[in-house]
Chains A and B, each alone.
Chain A
Amino acid sequence: MSRIRAKTDAFRAIADPTRRAILDRLRAGPANAGTLAADFRSSRPAVSRHLRVLREARLVVDTRIGRERVYAVNPVPLQAVAGWLEGYRAFWQTSLTQLKRNLEAK
């Protein structure tokens, strides 16, 4: 169950456009909350709330460096989301292959 739950939380986390933008920013390199708030011209509490959701979905990991908390992307749950899409991808790949077989057999 925990695998499914993490996957669902990842979906919920990336449903928000600001959080997707934060993830894109973190793909370019780790950053702390202050830097992200400046980049996004958001209040620091707003950015912290988004970071908390991303952290709970395990889409970001935080490391304490001195007095700073630095955030980085954790790709593993995104792979779960990709895995979810992979099910649909496989469905259409298989089905269209079957359709071709059926239609061209006649």
Chain B
Amino acid sequence: MSEIKTHARAVSDLDDGRVVASVELAVVPERVFQALASRDVVDWWVNPGVFDTREWAGDVRVGGRWRASGVARGAPYALEGEFLEVDPPRKLVQTWHIAGAPGTPSTVTYLLEPIAGGTRLTVHHAGLAAPDQRDNVGAGWRSSFDRLSEILSVDRD
């Protein structure tokens, strides 16, 4: 197991509006894929005191929908999207959007590579910073940002 790195790493690319994260896991890709595309999601989309995912349901096939809901900072939230690519145990691509918000969904791509002793999982979350927004979405766009900020943001102020 010495090949497996201890920590997850995530970096953001401001110009591109993208976050890239990766982690090495001492389990086979099939097991990792299951954790990405099943109710197992509720066990790891969790940050104590910030957000807590409680429900996940998905129709895991191209064109199928998924939805996750839970509580973030005391208020309910729901995320949803569509599976764009389902290629177990190598790749899963899904759109990622706060339920009911206007604007273009972002896209999450999971890539799974077998490595000695386990799996390297890489996440690309793209389309975050510079969505193709028309001026007339104004208020709704702003409120979706507010809500997502609340859900996701670390305490900075």
Contacts and interface: CB of A to CB of B under 8 A. Distances in A.
A74 to B, nearest CB: 15
Contact of B130 (A5, A15, A104): A15
A11 B44 CA distance: 30
What bracket does the count of chain A residues touching chain B fall in? 20 to 34
Contact of B43 (A85, A89, A96, A102): A102
Contacts, number: 126
Interface of A: 4-5, 7-8, 11-12, 14-15, 20, 78, 81-100, 102-104
Interface of B: 7-15, 17, 19, 21-23, 25-27, 31-32, 35, 40, 43-47, 50-51, 121, 123, 125, 128-133, 135, 141-142, 145-146, 148-149, 151-154, 156
27 contacts: A4-B142, A7-B145, A8-B141, A8-B142, A11-B130, A15-B131, A15-B132, A20-B15, A84-B145, A85-B128, A87-B149, A87-B154, A88-B125, A89-B21, A90-B10, A90-B154, A91-B152, A93-B10, A93-B21, A94-B47, A96-B23, A98-B43, A99-B23, A99-B32, A100-B25, A102-B35, A103-B25
